[in-house]
A and B are shown apart, each in its own frame.
Chain A
Amino acid sequence: MAGVSTQTFASVKSRTIYFWILSLLLVLSFTLATVLQPRAGTWTSRSGAENVLKVVLGDGRRLFANHFFVQADVSFHSGYYPSIFDHTALPKDSSPMIADSEQHDEHAGHACQGEHDHNSAKCSDDHAGCAHDHGEKGHEHDPHEKAMSFLGTPRDWVEAFGRRFMITEHTHLSAGNEREMLPWLKLSAELDPQRVDSYTVAAYWLRTLGKVDEAERFLRDGWRNNPNSYEILFELGRLYHEARKDIERTRNIWELALAKWGEQQANSDEPDLRALSQIAIHLGRMEESEGRLVRAVELLQLAQKASPNPEVLAKDIEELKHKATLPVKAP
């Protein structure tokens, strides 16, 4: 101790005191954390499973979700997309991906079997399988094609020259490249789990790309977040019907979708008739193929009420009624 100065001794002593104070504070913080953590869970409605994005962004995440949803549509159109300045081309609907779907509804009972729903992305694909057959590029008379021809002729030389450096051709993703939309839809759903479109559009494309398990998992996530969504139930039913060929489960799900629609939309001022029409037509067609003709007629009549062009379905209903009244031949 003889070689140790009093200053050094005092310095060591003060450091020891600081060390003990810090240790004490650390223990105190830890103890408080263990006491408060279980209680903090009850202070807000947030569950532990909620992700960091929700905690950080709050309700503002819905804005980003909308952006990513639009980004998926931009991706589907390979970058050719109207800006906010091209307002004449912007869809009136809240979602640009639902822009041109209504026009197709009436074909649902015929060749396309009700494949027209949710978004421009789906519609283009549906058309590819239909008599319309416009493949990668839409044809000139297609309203979607009209809406997407927003560029027009260049107004001046600056614009004319600028177009040489931008995408000026309206194309849709094809040949499996539709997968490029999926990350945006997934992000959109992560940010806003109540955005039903993100689930249904992604599930549609996953199913089309042969990823049935992923589509089902994603739809079930969506259903968990939106237990009353008839749109998700309808899409889930399509998955079971078209990919799994599980008639019984499809019937249960679509019947549930119809019931959910009734609960939410029947007394609404502006009911979602397009959704009703789709569910009823799909379920009706399935019942027809299963030989349950009376129920099929009921469903098609329901679809007819919801349809803007009921005469298209009238002929099918008459034929079904006729079939239903015919005596069953003995084997």
Chain B
Amino acid sequence: MNIVTALSGVVIKELYRRKDFYVLFILTALITLVMGSISFFNDARIARYLKEICLMLIWISALVIATTTTARQIPAERENRTIFPLLAKPVTRWHVVAGKFLGCWLASGMALVVFYFFFAVVSGTRDSHWPLLQYAQIVLLHWAMLAVVISLTLLGSVILSAPSSNMTICLVFVLGILLLGRHLNQVALEQPEPIRSLIYLVYYVIPHLEWYDVRDLIIYEHKLIAWSDCALAGLYAFVYSGFLLMGTWLAFRRKPLHL
């Protein structure tokens, strides 16, 4: 476990040394503050449009940070040949996969905390409403979703040749699920057999990341989600991530390390 933690520490250091997070955070903050400075019909209490814009930017930024950080981990180690001294130590390939995953996940979690802290401050100062438990839920669910995204990108990084193609494919896949995942069963039911069964199969197989998108509940001030449901969703993400990480390890185990 110490090895995995040490490896993850390196990834976290990489996040705060690189400019990606800072650029995305400044952009998010800047756009949100500019939008917040606009006065609509001299009513300073209007807040939901700002929450909507800010949360959308946070989601885009988090996805970009998670995929870009993860996609270059293993390819960069191979390209710089640092993978050889790394594996020469008492470090197995499973350690590398687990360490990279944990590092990316923790780094994304830290980024999420900063982003949501900014959101809570902007939102709270605007409408004097501080639903801290709901904020905790949205952060935890978002973080759980990122676990799946990161493990998926890690799998892509050992299967696909270039980090750029991996990033693009993962982002398209994740956005596709977020937009369509909820409706695939409806689409399936309108199709004739065997397309119906095929789409339904896809519907059951894909990770349902759309569950974790609870932005609307925050924006429109709906009630708290049951914690048991959050725990079940967390378990689902945990199992899915484990499955993808296992796949990553299996693919990485047989992969030649030289380019």
Contacts and interface: CB of A to CB of B under 8 A. Distances in A.
Interface string A67-111: 000000001001100010110000000000000000000000000
B189 interface: yes
B232 interface: yes
A161 interface: yes
Contacts of B182: 159, 162, 166
A167 B220 contact: yes
B41 A164 contact: no
A219 B49 CA distance: 22
Contacts of A83: 183
B229 interface: yes
Interface in A175-228: 179-180, 182-184, 186, 202, 206, 211, 214, 218
A85 B48 CA distance: 25
A165 interface: yes
A206 B211 CA distance: 36
A156 B189 CA distance: 12
B222 A85 contact: no
A155 interface: yes
Contact of B41 (A78, A166, A214): A214
A183 B49 contact: yes
Nearest to B213: A165
A85 B187 CA distance: 8
A179 B45 contact: yes
B211 A161 contact: yes
Contacts of B219: 79
A83 B180 CA distance: 10
B183 to A, nearest CB: 4
Given A164-B229, A183-B49, A218 B41 contact: yes
B211 A179 contact: no
B185 A167 contact: no
Nearest to B212: A165
A79 B215 CA distance: 10
B120 interface: no
Interface in B216-256: 216-217, 219-220, 222, 225-226, 229, 232-233
A19 B141 CA distance: 59
B80 interface: no
Contacts of A79: 216-217, 219-220, 222
A85 B186 contact: yes
Determine the main DSSP class of B at the interface with A.
helix
Size category of the A interface is 20 to 34
Interface stretch (B9-17, B19-27, B101-109, B202-210): B202-210
A155 B190 CA distance: 13
Contacts of A158: 185, 203-204, 208
A186 B229 CA distance: 38
B210 A162 contact: yes
A78 B211 contact: no
A158 B186 CA distance: 12
Interface in B169-191: 182-183, 185-187, 189
Interface string A294-329: 000000000000000000000000000000000000
Contact of A182 (B46, B212, B214): B46
A218 B220 CA distance: 26
Contacts of A161: 211, 229, 232
Which has the most chain A C-beta neighbours within 10 Å: B217, B222, B229?
A: B222
A186 B41 contact: yes
B46 A165 contact: no
B47 interface: yes
Given A75-B48, A165-B233, A167-B217, A214 B42 contact: yes
Contacts of B46: 179-180, 182-183
A186 B41 CA distance: 9
Contacts of A166: 182, 214, 216-217
Q: Which of B41, B43, B141, B204 is the most central at the interface, judged by chain A CB atoms within 10 Å of its CB?
A: B41
Nearest to A209: B43
Contacts of B43: 179, 182, 211
Contact of B185 (A159, A179, A186, A211): A159
Contacts of A75: 48-49, 220
Nearest to B186: A85
Nearest to A84: B183
Given A158-B208, A180-B46, A183-B46, A165 B185 contact: no
A184 B35 CA distance: 12
Given A158-B208, A214-B41, A180 B49 contact: yes
A5 B3 CA distance: 62
A165 B230 CA distance: 9
Nearest to B203: A158
6 contacts: A79-B216, A83-B183, A162-B208, A183-B40, A211-B42, A218-B41
Query: What 10 pairs across the A-B complex have the smallest Cβ distances?
Result: A85-B183, A79-B216, A183-B49, A79-B220, A78-B220, A180-B48, A214-B41, A164-B229, A183-B40, A165-B211
Interface of A: 75, 78-79, 83, 85-86, 155-156, 158-159, 161-162, 164-167, 169, 179-180, 182-184, 186, 202, 206, 211, 214, 218
